[in-house]
Structure 1
């Protein structure tokens, strides 16, 4: 399928989509008691990253795009905090945490770099 929206070509959007899918799979193993708490929170925050990248890219001025990238960056910070909570509660092992942490750090740097170039 050919990409028709410009955000579909952005590496940061594609990486955010991948992260969101990975987080969704990760939360399947969380305890049932977290279904409406941590599981829901981290899934919504991870979804929000790609949603804000795409929303900011459609017909917006650079200041508007920068604003929505800021929202995406904040959502990613929320994801990282949720990952810390999951590790502290022993829902994920150190290696899982480290992998998600590195992936998040890389995406954060990419988004900040992209925002700085606007």
Structure 2
């Protein structure tokens, strides 16, 4: 898998603190695994908020809607600029392109 696509993409996104050094395969695999975990948690949390907000709307529960949208907006701000994952002096910037703008309550 020396020429795998994910590895090439990681190399393009990789910001190396130690200039001139290529990251070992184990570091790349660790960064990739952590990136996938972070993205999975992001997708799960987003779906959970959407489901709970939709339920509050269906139930016409104004208090729950305002509470959930406030929590959602705080959560969205955390992910708007992406997330940096680091491993052994190497950093990978993860962006969540599907981040929705905050909800107006």
- Kindly indicate whether structure 1 or structure 2 has the higher relative contact order, using CA contacts under 8 Å at least 6 residues apart: 2
Normalized per residue, which structure has more helix? 1
TM-score by length of 1: 0.42
Q: Could you say which structure has the larger radius of gyration? A: 2
Normalized per residue, which structure has more strand? 2
